[in-house]
Amino acid sequence: MMNSSGKKRNNRFTRLILLVVFAGIFLAGCAQETPPFSFVQLCDPQLGMGGYEHDKAALRQAVKQVNELDCDFAVVCGDLVHHAADSSFRDFLDIIGECEVPCYFVPGNHDVGREPTEERLAWYRQVIGEDYYSFDHKGFRFIAVNSPLWKSPLEEETGKHDRWFENLLEETERQRIVVVGHYPLFIKDPGEEENYSNLSVSKRTALLDLFADHDVEAYLTGHRHETLLNEYQGIQLVTGETTSKNFDDRPLGFRLWSASPDTLTHRFVKLQPFEY
């Protein structure tokens, strides 16, 4: 017959075993949240920017190369077309539809207007789809934003968009966060003056604080037609090469991102020669 001290030792041992088991299950679950994967960042296909037929052929070549990669999906950082029209949007959708992995788009200023209107937003939503949304993938939450509303606010639409964005960040737990937009927050310095390519100082500062408070890992953008690799408090701010026309003499191409449990990295993939 076991005495009281023996029972206590046995109970402590049992609790210890259970604690080890539950800890192992928890850690295994955490390790499975971010299995390695890769995705593509396409910037400014902008059909018509570098010559309409050229840009269609370039985007088709990019899609071909994406299909040859072992990646999970692609994001397109706005300016799908140069001159928004039913026909140019249709050409974009036809070409990107050849991609064998899911593709997610955000609007650029050439898609919804440098100063968006309710009519332009409604048209984009009808022809292309949602202008802001999120999706989850292997331990990450990707948040696609309508950054033209951050550059040229449309009071009601911008308020609705920003409340959605802030609430989504607040409710995101145990997921790593990547934000996808069109406009860079800044070009060279967080304190620089506003210009055509960045956001106002007040909006930029508020967003940088919001990103930092919620551990956003990266903000992916286009618009600039040059490569910008910035960093702010550990947040990667990456404006990639385009498939239409670059202003910094960089070759056409896209960024291939790789995610692992501990890292989020990217590298440039050059477009191979194509005919048009």
E strand spans, the chain: 37-42, 73-76, 103-105, 133-137, 140-144, 176-180, 216-221, 228-232, 235-239, 253-259, 264-270
Q: Indicate the pTM of the whole model.
A: 0.88
CATH number assigned to the domain covering 35-270: 3.60.21.10
pLDDT band at 149 (very low <50, low <70, confident <90, very high): very high
Average pLDDT over residues 169-174: 96
- pLDDT of 29 > 80? The answer is no
Find the mean pLDDT for residues 117-144: 98
Nearest CA to 42 out of 102, 127, 86 is that of 102
pLDDT score for 34: 72
pLDDT by residue (tens digit) across 73-90? 999 999 999 999 999 999
How far, in Å, CA of 92 to CA of 243, rounded? 12
Tokens 């800890």 belong to which residue?
23
Contacts of 59 by beta carbon, 8 Å cutoff, 6+ apart: 45, 47, 92, 95, 96, 243, 244
Residue 214 burial (CB count, 10 A) = 14
Percent of the chain with pLDDT over 70: 88
The helix/strand/coil state of 181 is coil
* Mean pLDDT (the chain, rounded): 92
- What's the mean pLDDT in 183-206? 97
